[in-house]
Structure 1
Amino acid sequence: MTTHTDTRPADGFHLPAGSAASGPYALDVDPERAGWGYSSLRVLPLAAGSEHEFAAGDSEWIVLPLSGGCTVTVEDADGGTHTFELHGREDVFSGVTDFAYAPRDARVRIAGAAGGRFALTGARCERRLPARYGPASGVPVELRGSGACSRQVNNFAAADVFEADRLIAVEVLTPGGNWSSYPPHKHDECRPGEESELEEVYYFEIAPAAGNPDAPGLGYQRVTPSGHGKGTDVLAEVRSGDVVLIPDGWHGPSIAAPGHDMYYLNVMAGPGEERSWLICDHPDHAWIRGSWADQAVDPRLPLYTAPSAAPSAPRPAQTQEEDDR
């Protein structure tokens, strides 16, 4: 079940894998496609030895390896060139990854000697911040909830962790059989100190059954209307590569099928002057938080932790003249 107003995408809020592909991207969602103002997400597959270049335009971007590593070169608007070696990871279920931040008005080149897949999380913004490297060792890994609501959050670009102008992005891993993104919550109104107005993209990958890589997994995502003219209503069966767009509404649960761990990448941005993630729980379900103190966190978590130190330092920033030598 998916309903939407006339201002939303004609193909709805659930975009199955491949349905939003464009050019080199296996997934390409921008504000125009989503029908909103700020948030973007692209997924770039790169063959071994190939590269891809794009203009940041009016958005800031984070290059986040989903599988494999790459070299990210950022040419900023002031003429400087910065190169970062991303070690990456085998896949999203195997470890925390490092990442690279590129400011608006830059040109970004991604080169993959061994190939891989890379998420490009973006947000329209005003400020131009420095290009930077984010080490895997600096990513806080949080265990949220307990019992059947236990999940792991990799806060690589949470609002209080990594500086950006508008972009907020985190990864969530949910063991098979658990309910994540629960209790249902929303962030579609600006209420200073209580709630932020943020658009959100959910990008999913589902692990195959243990010992049976040919058994693909699935999960479910629910979004319900929050009222006051905000009518997003989604009940979607999600599989690897699927996306759910959440312009408004109570969202959750994200349900992982038994035997299939669920990963989702959250990308958020909005119009507020303060970059913050303030949520409001659904009043019918907020009570569940009070039950967590009497339950243990799922012993399957964490699926992994951040390394204690980066395996090696990224390449230092280089000037264009140094690159030309």
Structure 2
Amino acid sequence: MTGTSPYHLPAGRARTGPYAVDVGPESAGWGHSALRVLELPPGGSHTFGTGDGEWIVLPLNGGCTVAASDEFGHDTFELTGRADVFDAVSDFAYVPRDARTTVSSAGGGRFALAGARCARRLPARYGPASGVPVELRGTGECSRQVNNFGAAGVFECDKLIAVEVITPGGNWSSFPPHKHDEHRPGEESVLEEIYYFEFAAHEGTPGLGYQRVSPSGRGRGTDVLAEVRDGDVVLIPDGWHGPSMAVPGHHMYYLNVMAGPEAERAWLIRDHPDHAWIRDTWPGRPVDPRLPLYGAPAASSPSSAPAASPSAPSSSAPSSQ
């Protein structure tokens, strides 16, 4: 519960070295998902080995250069980044396992490294902001924006799935509560999940929200009711997760990082049976007019255009994230 759960890591608890957040399979006690948040001063750089994991470097604020080297060659990507997570969609870079990677930033900033243990080595690649599908999910007070930069079916990874969710102040997301802790072919997949939170301040006052995870009868019986603030992390090895609640006046951002043992990389969820009916109330109701906060930019040239990703927001309500 609040303040006592080992699955709620308040800002600073998972800090190591240059990382404001450093969560991996060893510290989380699971098998696949990882997240680091790298802080760099102006002119700073950091080098790390990807080891047995694949990683996406995603600017949270600021821009950077990502250089990855391995036995197959060397790749360098310039990431424009953004002012903050409430300002714009960001471009990103994918770096493969068994590579040496350097992130450097002339202006400084914070950069999320979303990772997953994997078996296949895929090539290093650049992900343009114009190629990120911006989706609107839910309606009314359940409206939220999802930036599907690393979603299954959008960007190829071996195991890693990662998306950004923006919930306007006063709204609920990750609702109805859902889970993905059981192997049910075609219906539910097993995925460990990390939530990383940031909030929009109002006239200098920091924001906050609340996150609920309740036991599903499987795994560790994860039980969390946490007040979450900037830089907090919630670990979800199992259980029904949701709602994620943004207090009025403060937009809430969270980065979801997921991976698991399934042969197929897919986000398949089961809604909580007590609350699944809420979906039936969405059709015919308007999406929160505050959304989208922003859309993906138009491609700057044919070479940077996405393979299959609209730049304009889409509106749907099939999912709980």
Please give the range of the TM-score, normalised by the shorter of the 2 chains. Answer: over 0.9
Q: SS at the partner of 1:188?
A: coil
Task: Confirm or deny that 1:266 pairs with 2:266.
Answer: no
Which position in structure 2 is the counterpart of 1:71? Answer: 65
Alpha-carbon RMSD: 1.5
* 1:309 Cα deviation after fit: 1.1
Identity %: 72
Which of residues 22, 29, 34 in structure 2 aligns to 1:28? 22
Query: Which of the residues 98, 102, 111 maps onto 1:105?
Result: 98
The residue correspondences of 1:143-182 to structure 2 (distance < 5 A) are 143-182=136-175
Correspondence for 1:126: 119
1:88-144 CA deviation, whole Å, 9 max, x = no partner? 000000000000000000010011001110000000000000000000000000000
The answer to whether the 8 A contact 1:3-1:234 is kept is no
Q: 1:276 to 1:250 in 2, by over 3 A?
A: same
Amino acid at match of 2:274: D
Cα 1:202/1:229, change in 2 over 3 Å: closer
Per-residue Cα deviation, 1:42-90 (whole angstroms, up to 9, x for no partner): 0001001111000000000000000000000010232x00000000000
Equivalent of 1:93 in 75, 80, 86 = 86
Summarize deviations over 1:260-291 as a string: whole Å, max 9, x none.
00000000000000000000000000000010
Q: Distance in 2 between matches of 1:191 and 1:127?
A: 24
Match of 1:115 in 2: 108
Asked if the contact 2:193–2:259 (Cα under 8 Å) also holds between the matched residues in 1, the reply is yes
CA distance in 1, matches of 2:59, 2:170: 26
Contact 1:189 1:195 in 2 (8 A): yes
1:229–1:46 CA distance, 2 compared to 1 (3 A)? closer
Q: What's the offset of the Cα at 1:313? A: 7.2
List 4+ stretches of structure 1 deviating above 6 A: 311-314
2:191 pairs with 1:187:
no
Check the 8 A contact 2:130/2:296 in 1, yes or no. Answer: yes
Distance 1:313 1:74, change over 3 A: farther
| Structure 1 residue 190 displacement after superposition | 1.0
Q: Which residue does the alignment assign to 2:282? A: 292
1:179-218 matched pairs, under 5 angstroms: 179-209=172-202, 212=203, 214-218=204-208
Structure-to-structure mapping, 1:32-47, within 5 angstroms: 32-47=26-41
Partner of 2:214: 224
Match of 1:140 among 130, 133, 136: 133
Count of aligned positions: 304
2:235 is the counterpart of 1:245: yes
Aligned partners of 2:200, 2:80: CA distance in 1, in Å?
22
TM-score, normalised by the number of residues in structure 1 = 0.91
Corresponding position of 1:317: none
The verdict on how the C-alpha distance between 1:310 and 1:203 changes in structure 2, with shifts beyond 3 A counting, is farther
- Amino acid paired to 1:39: S
